[in-house]
Amino acid sequence: MKSKILAWSQIPLLILTALFFNTSVFAAENDKEAIENADKYFYTALNQMFTGDLDQMKVIWSHANDVTYMGPGGEFNIGWEKVLKTWKKQAAMKLGGKVEPADTQITMGRDMAVVNCYEKGENSDTNGNVQKVSIRATNVFRKEGGKWKMIGHHTDLLPYLAKS
């Protein structure tokens, strides 16, 4: 009987704990850090892709049929298979260089987040000439299975990559 009294006396503490850990402020702080990390991971994957390696790109992206990629070459791909095909094509170009996000702005909801930034750095064009990169980009993430996965990437065009 005594153990039931202890259990009932702990209910108010359990309710207060549940309310505290269920506040939007607590969730937002953790999710914002997770979004920042996912976005950093994407740019690490992007820079790896410039060397021909897509392993990290395959990890950060959702493999769903509703993902979209509108990159600096002017393509508009819908669905993981088409997005991956475009990443493979770009990886084969081995553009080298490095691109980093600048002036990042995060807008987030419970299961979706949008990251706007400038992508700055340099790559080589198809003739091996070093080209400066300074374009706007939007990255969209969705929480899937407790992890933030990229579901959209949209950039300005780069003249040396854009389709004629």
Write out the chain's pLDDT in tens, 164 residues.
444 444 555 544 444 334 333 333 333 358 999 999 999 999 999 999 999 999 999 999 999 999 999 999 999 999 999 999 999 999 999 999 999 999 999 999 999 999 999 999 999 988 889 999 999 999 999 999 999 999 999 999 998 888 64
Tokens for 17, please give them.
């704990």
CA gap 119, 134 in Å, rounded: 6
150 contacts: CB under 8 Å, gap ≥ 6: 38, 42, 60, 61, 62, 67, 139, 140, 141
Q: Which domain holds residue 41?
A: 24-155
Q: How confident is the model at residue 29, as a pLDDT?
A: 55
- What are residue 98's DSSP bridge partners? 122
Rg, Å, the chain Cα set? 21
CA gap 133, 62 in Å, rounded: 26
CA gap 148, 33 in Å, rounded: 11
Q: How confident is the model at residue 15, as a pLDDT?
A: 43
113 part of a folded domain: yes
- Tell me the CATH number at 104: 3.10.450.50
Q: How confident is the model at residue 161, as a pLDDT?
A: 86
41 part of a folded domain: yes
17 part of a folded domain: no
Strand pairing class (68-70; 147-155): parallel
11 part of a folded domain: no
Q: How confident is the model at residue 126, as a pLDDT?
A: 81
